Structure 1
Amino acid sequence: MLLRSHHVLLLAIILVSSAGCGAQGCEGITDLDLKHSIVGPSLKVRLLLFTRANATCGQLIDPENPFSNSLLNATRPTTFLIHGYRPTGSPPIWMHKVVEAILTRKDVNAIVVDWIRGATNINYLKVVKNTRPVAVILTAFIKQMQNEGASLDSIHMIGVSLGAHISGFTGANFGGAIGRITALDPAGPSFTGRPPEERLDPSDAQFVDALHTDMDAFGFRKPLGHIDFYANGGADQPGCPKSIFSGSQYFKCDHQRSVFLYLDSLNRTCQTITYPCSSYSDFLDGKCLNCSLFGSAGCPVFGYDVIGWKDELLKLNSISTYFTTNKASPFCKFGYKVDILTWNSEKRWGHITLTQQRGGQQTTAEINHKSYKFEQYTETTLLAEFDREVQPAERITLKYGTGNVFGPRYKLRVLRIRLTPLPLERRLRPMCRYDLLLLENQEVTFRPIPCEHSNF
C-alpha cells in the first residue's frame, strides 16, 4: 500500500509539473557567455510560446509544423516580444516579467523571439546584419499563421532596440498591414540617417508607437512612429548613473529604462499623461499643457493603452509627446500648472520649490531647469511635477531662490499663486493663495484656498 501511494504521488507531481507544457517541457531563452560574444555564433531563431495556460512555461514552436503545438491558436491575437543586441550573450532580465504582464492584460499568444544566437557578438555591425534575416523568418511564420486563420490586424510586435527595426522590417513585408508595432528605444547606431525602408517608420504597421530614452547614445533621436514618446526629454533618465565608474549600468541603464517604463504601463502601476510639444524645454516651461488637439479624448497616455488614441493620432499623422518620470517604479509623476503673478517694480529671476503636504504625506517639486523671469503684473506659468499625488493639499510650502552664493538676498512679492492639477481636461478646481512675500531661500508655508476666479 505504501509503494502504491508513493507511485500515485509521483504521478500527480509529474502531471502537475507538465500541465500546460505538453511533452516538450518548459523551454527558456538561450543563455550564452562572453566566449560566444568573441566567436560570434551563427544566427538561430527560436520562437517560445506563452499563453494563459502556460504563462511561466515556454513552449518551443516547431517552425516546420507550428500548429502541432496545441496551445498555439491562430484565431487568438498574437504579441511578439523581440529583444535587441546582447553583447555578452545573457538573456534579458525583464523578458518573463513583460510576458506575464502582457498575458494578464490580454488573452494572447505571447511569442518571445529568441535570436540570442545572432544578437551576441562584440562586433555590433554583424549583429545589425542579422536583423533582416530574423524579419524574414518572422514573416514566414506569420504567413503560416495567416493560412490557419490569423488576422494581421490582431498582431502586435513589441521590439526593443534592434528588435524595433526587426519589427519594422517584418511589418514592411506585409505592406504595413499588421496591427501595431511598439518600439522601445529603437536602436540609433547604423540606423540614424537611413531612409525609411532601412529602418522602422510609421508605414510599417497600422499603428506605430515609439518610446525614446537614450537618444544621445544607443537610441534613435528623431520620430519614427505615429506617436513618439520622449521620457525626460529622451536622453538621460533619473536614477541612472552619471559616471563611467558606475560600471555597465552607466552604458545600459538609460537604454534599458524603456522596457521598465513600458512594464509599468502594462501593470497599470500608475497612468502617465503625455503632452504634445515642439521641444522638451517648452514642455518644462509649461507651454504645452493644453491637449484640445485630441478633443474629448484629452492628452494621450504613455504605453500599452495609447492604442485608445489611435484614431485621433492617425489623423495627425505623426506627433511627439513629452513626460517626466521618477527614478524608480512607480515612474509616473503628477503635474500641476503653476501661475505666479508678481508685483515687484524690478524684474526678478530665479526658481521655485513647491511642497504639498496632507496628513503625514508630502511631495516636493523643484522647478529649476532654468532661471525664470518674474515681471510686475505679468503672470509667469511654470510646470510642477510631483513624485506622488497628495490631493487636496492641506498645506503648501513655497521657496524662491536665485542660486546666487554671493550678493544680495532678493525678495519676490507674489500677488497670486494658482496651482491647477493636470491634465487640464479633468477640470479639477485650482488652489490659490494671495499676497505673499518670499524672502530668498526661506520657506513660506500656507493653507491653499479655492481660487476666486477659476481659470482653466
Structure 2
Amino acid sequence: SMFLWQYLTPVLLITVQICKALKCEEFTDLDFRHAFIGTSLRVKLLLYTRENVSCGLLMSHTDLSATPQFNASRPTTFIIHGFRPTGSPQRDMNVIVVDWNRGAANVNYFKAKENTIKAGENLTAFVEVMQNSGASLSSIHLIGISLGAHVSGFIGAHFNASIGRITALDAAGPLFTGTSPEHRLDPTDAQFVDVLHTDIDALGFREALGHIDFYANGGTDQPGCPPTVFSGGAYFKCDHQRSVFLYMESLKRTCPIRAYPCSSYNDFLDGNCWNCGPDGCPIFGYGIIEKKDVIQKMQQIKAYFKTNSQSPFCMTSYRVYIVTWNQEVRFGYITIKLSGTSKEAVATIDHRASKFKKFTETTMLAHFDADPESPVNKVSLTFTTGNVFKPPYKLRVLRLRLTPIETNQRSLCRYDFILEENQKKTFRPIPCEDTDF
C-alpha cells in the first residue's frame, strides 16, 4: 500500500512536471478573468501509468489506440476535479486525471453545476469506448472531488451501478442538497460508494450519499482551519480541501484513521459508539473497499472520527473511567497527558462538561494527538470547570482507569487521589487489577 501512496497521492497534488521525451499535456490553468467571463466546457483526459509517471498524456476521447500506454485490461482510476496532476505510478494501473477546468472555473456556480451534467455525459461516452476495448467496469474507480463527486454519480448511474467504486471527497452541497437521487450522487451509482464529509455547513453536502459516509470532526470545522469568515477565501476553501489531504494520508497506511459508526457526532464524542463488534471499526480511506461486503449488508452507515490539524491526522483513543466520592455532584472538563518512553500525547475532553456523582462511574472518550507508545510511565491530569467566580473545586477520585481502544494493552489505573481545580496532578500509573473490569 506504500506504492498506492506514491502512486495516487502525487496525482492528487498541485504541481505539474514537464517530461521532455513525450508530448506532455498540462492541466488547464485558468485565471480569475476566465471565471468572470465564464468558460465553455472542454474536457481533457490526462493519462498517467507506470511507463509515464510524471507526464500526463492527452488521450483521445474516441480512439484508445492513439495512446499505446493505456491498457484496457488494467484497473483504471479517474480523478475528477480537481487538483493538478503529477504522478509516480508503481502499481500496474491507469490513472486518468479529468481536466474540466473550462467548465468548473466559473464565478457563476449555477453554470458550473450545469456543466457537471455535460462533463458526466462526456466521460460516460469515454467509459463506453473503454468498455468496447475490453475494460471491465468493475475495475473502474472514480474519485470525485466537490462538484466532481456528482459528475461521478452521473457516470455511475448511466452504467446501472456496474462501475466498481466511487469515492466522493466533500461532495458539493449548494444546489444539490434536497434534490432527488437521480440529480446527485447516491449509493445506487456504483457497486461501492464511499464518501468523506469535511464542510457540511458551507460548500459540502450534509446528508449521507454512499454506502458508508465518513464525517471528519463531525463534518464541519476542521482543526487548523480559520474559524471565522474574516480570514477571507481560506475560510471557505480550507475545510472543503481538507477532504483531499485526509484521503491522501489514507494512501500511506502508516497512520490509520479509525472511524466509529454512530447516530451523531455528539453521541460519538460522548463515547457511546466505540464498540464495533466482531468486524472491528472501519478504517477510513482507500482501503475501506476491503470491508465492502460487511458494509453493504447494513443500511447506509455514518461513521465519525476526530483528527489532528495536520499530518499525521490520526489520533489515539482511550476510554476513561472515573469514580469520585465528592458529596455534591460536580461538573467539569478533564485534560490528560500520557508520557511514554519517547513520546507525549495530550487529550482534552471538553465538548461538554462531564458529570461526576458520588460512587457512580463516569465514562468518557479521550482522543490523544499522538500514540504515546507503551509503556506509559507518567500520567498528568488537570480538572477545570470554567467557573471564574467560585472558589476552586476539589475532585476526590476513588479510581481512574484508562483503557486503549485500538490495542489489547492492559488498562492503566490510579486509586485514591485528589484533583484540585486548575492544578496539574502527575503520577505513575499502575496496571489495573482484573476485578476493575
Count of aligned pairs between the two proteins:
419
Would you say 1:285 and 2:266 are equivalent positions? no
Matched, 1:115 2:113: no
Amino acid at match of 1:417: L
CA shift for structure 1 position 233: 0.3
Instruction: State the match for 1:236 in structure 2.
Output: 221
Of residues 50, 63, 75 in structure 2, which corresponds to 1:52?
Answer: 50
Matches within 5 A, 1:263-302: 263-292=248-277, 295=278, 297-302=279-284
Equivalent residue number for residue 63 of structure 2: 65
Q: How much has 1:361 moved relative to structure 2?
A: 2.7
TM-score, with length taken from structure 1:
0.89
Residue of structure 1 equivalent to 2:74:
76
The reply on whether 1:413 has 2:411 as its aligned counterpart is no
193-202 or 357-366: which moved more? 357-366
Moved over 6 A (4+): none
Q: 221-230 or 262-271, which moves further after superposition?
A: 262-271
Structure 1 contact 159–181 (Cα < 8 Å) conserved: yes
Instruction: Measure how far apart 1:244 and its partner are.
Output: 2.7
Give the 3 Å change call, closer, same or farther, for CA 301–349 of structure 1 in structure 2.
same
Tell me whether 406-415 or 244-253 shows the greater mean CA deviation: 244-253
* Contact persistence 2:334–2:350 (CA under 8 A): yes
Give 1:350's aligned amino acid: G
Q: Provide the rounded CA distance (Å) in 2 between the counterparts of 1:364 and 1:17.
A: 46
Which amino acid is the alignment partner of residue 170 of structure 2? D
- Give the CA deviation at 1:78: 0.3
| In structure 2, distance between residues paired with 1:225 and 1:360 | 41
CA–CA distance in 1 between the matches of 2:367 and 2:161?
A: 38
Q: Which structure has more helix as a fraction of its residues?
A: 1
Aligned to 2:109: 124
* Per-residue Cα deviation, 1:220-265 (whole angstroms, up to 9, x for no partner): 0000110000000000000001233323211100001000000100
Would you say the 8 A contact 1:30–1:114 is kept in 2?
yes
Give the equivalent residue in structure 1 for 2:337. 355
Q: State the partner residue of 2:426.
A: 445
Q: Deviations over 1:95-119 (max 9, x none)?
A: 43xx54xx34x42100001000111
| Structure 1 counterpart of 2:227, one-letter code | K
Structure 2 counterpart of 1:404, which letter? N
Q: CA–CA distance in 2 between the matches of 1:65 and 1:161?
A: 29
- Closer/same/farther in 2, CA of residues 255 and 346 from structure 1, 3 Å limit: same
List runs of 5+ in structure 1 lacking aligned partners: 1-15, 85-91
AA at the equivalent of 2:181: P
Which residue is 2:360 aligned to?
A: 378
Answer whether contact 1:165 1:200 (CA < 8 A) is retained.
yes
Query: Bigger radius of gyration, 1 or 2?
Result: 1
Question: How far apart in 1 are the matches of 2:259 and 2:341?
Answer: 29
Q: Distance in 1 between matches of 2:101 and 2:40?
A: 10
Matched, 1:251 2:236: yes
Q: Deviations over 1:155-204 (max 9, x none)?
A: 00000010000000000000011000000000000000001111000000
TM-score by length of 2: 0.93
The superposition leaves residues 35-92 of structure 1 with CA deviations (integer Å, 9 ceiling, x where unpaired) of 11111111100000001111211000011312221110000000000015xxxxxxx3
What's the C-alpha RMSD, in Å, of the aligned pairs? 1.5
Q: Residues 420-442 of structure 1: CA distance to partner in whole angstroms, max 9, x if unpaired?
A: 1123xx43211111112111111
Q: Give the secondary structure class of the aligned counterpart of 1:128.
A: helix
Shift, 1:358, TM fit: 2.4
The match for 2:317 is 335
8 Å contact kept, 1:27–1:60: yes
Equivalent residues of 1:184, 1:259 under 8 A apart: yes
Cα deviation for residue 359 of structure 1 reads: 4.0
8 Å contact from structure 1 (residues 430, 454) kept in 2: no
Mapped partners of 2:247, 2:436: distance in 1: 34
CA apart distance, 1:317: 2.7
Q: Is the 8 A contact 1:340 1:381 kept in 2?
A: yes
Q: Give the secondary structure class of the aligned counterpart of 1:130.
A: helix
User: CA separation of 1:454/1:69 partners in 2, compared to 1, >3 Å: closer, same or farther?
Assistant: farther
Matched letter for residue 31 of structure 2: D
Question: Is the Cα–Cα contact under 8 Å of residues 341 and 373 in structure 2 kept in the other structure?
Answer: no
CA deviation after TM superposition for structure 1 residue 454, in Å: 6.7
The answer as to 2:3 corresponding to 1:30 is no
